[in-house]
Amino acid sequence: MLDLLSPGLLAELDCSSPHLNSGCGFPAPTTEIFVFHPVWQFTILGIDFSIGKPMIMALMFSILIVVFFVLAFGRAKVVPSKLQSVGELGYLFVRDQISRETIGKSGDKFIPFLFALFFFIFVMNFLEILPGAQLPVTSIYAFPVALALMVWVVYMYLGVRHQGPWGFFRNMMFPPGVPVPIYFILSPIELISNVIVRPFTLSIRLFANMFAGHILLTVFTVATLYLMNVSVMGILGSTTSFLMTIIMTAFELLIEFLQAYIFTLLTASYIAGSLHAEH
């Protein structure tokens, strides 16, 4: 039996679309599925722009979000039209559940930022399960990094402006009501945790959830095709894989919404911490 798997036979196998008993192993998805060849490549002032699938989808759906909300709120009436009602659902969710809970009424001027952040992340995440696109744009690490850096600049600037440069770091590193020897351990940890680790975990949380979700869906989809065979193992395995793909798609929808909500909520929480010093 092992003779069948001799190197001579394996060398003649064509593994471009492998199936269960063909001698080719399971083609597990690697990080290669996140590499996209550029559709359009140009250079401006020495900076290389490669427009590939993630960039095209990010631009297209950003424009879609803007167009949708301009249509919904463009001519807002007191008795809302249908599109305005749907838009209001989204806006009131960000205002009541995220901004008013964490920052309170005084933070109403930050709602546009939080609103844009929430819907941008949610739509970019949603592309993971949209047929045709099927790539969560936020699983390209550059997008969460850019968002996290924006949030970092916002809460650092707000903290320095509202509490003064020395006041901001003093309130962060030396909270009142702590015995003096503890300050030697607490202050460096607080400084590193609030200034350096926060943008890192913010971006990694969003990126890793979308990255893992995309690989998960890819594994189940490839397994459905790989296990398609007339044997018992083939029928059982293929059907189970297909069911798991469907269940995982629903699960990914929940995770996408949750990650957008968490990112926005943590942003609001950091802004609140910068505006009012935590006592």
Partner 1 sequence: MIELLADAAGVTGNLKILGAVGYGLAAIGPGVGIGIIFGNGVQAIARQPEAYGVIRQNMFIGFALAEALALLGFVAPFVFGG
Binding site for partner 1 (CB under 8 A): 31, 97, 101, 201, 204-205, 207-209, 211-212, 258-259, 261-262, 265
Q: Which lies closer to partner 1 via its Cβ, residue 149 or residue 258?
A: 258
> For the chain, how many residues are written?
279
Smallest distance from the beta carbon of 229 to partner 1, in angstroms?
26
Q: Which lies closer to partner 1 via its Cβ, residue 54 or residue 198?
A: 198
Helices and strands (H, E) in the chain, number of each type: 10, 2
Q: Which lies closer to partner 1 via its Cβ, residue 227 or residue 265?
A: 265
Q: Which lies closer to partner 1 via its Cβ, residue 95 or residue 205?
A: 205
Smallest distance from the beta carbon of 40 to partner 1, in angstroms?
28
* One-letter identity of residue 200: F
Beta-carbon count within 10 A of 253 CB? 15
Smallest distance from the beta carbon of 266 to partner 1, in angstroms?
8
Bridge partners, 51 (sequence order) = 40
Q: Which lies closer to partner 1 via its Cβ, residue 72 or residue 98?
A: 98
Q: Which lies closer to partner 1 via its Cβ, residue 72 or residue 137?
A: 137
Smallest distance from the beta carbon of 150 to partner 1, in angstroms?
19
Smallest distance from the beta carbon of 262 to partner 1, in angstroms?
4
Smallest distance from the beta carbon of 244 to partner 1, in angstroms?
18
Nearest residue to 198 (alpha-carbon basis) of 255, 149, 247: 149
Smallest distance from the beta carbon of 31 to partner 1, in angstroms?
6
Smallest distance from the beta carbon of 89 to partner 1, in angstroms?
17
Q: Which lies closer to partner 1 via its Cβ, residue 36 or residue 261?
A: 261
Q: How far is CA 142 from CA 58, 146, 165, 205, in A?
A: 12, 6, 30, 13
Rounded to an integer, what distance in angstroms lies between the CA atom of residue 113 and that of residue 268? 10
Contacts of residue 9, Cβ cutoff 8 Å, sequence gap at least 6: 23
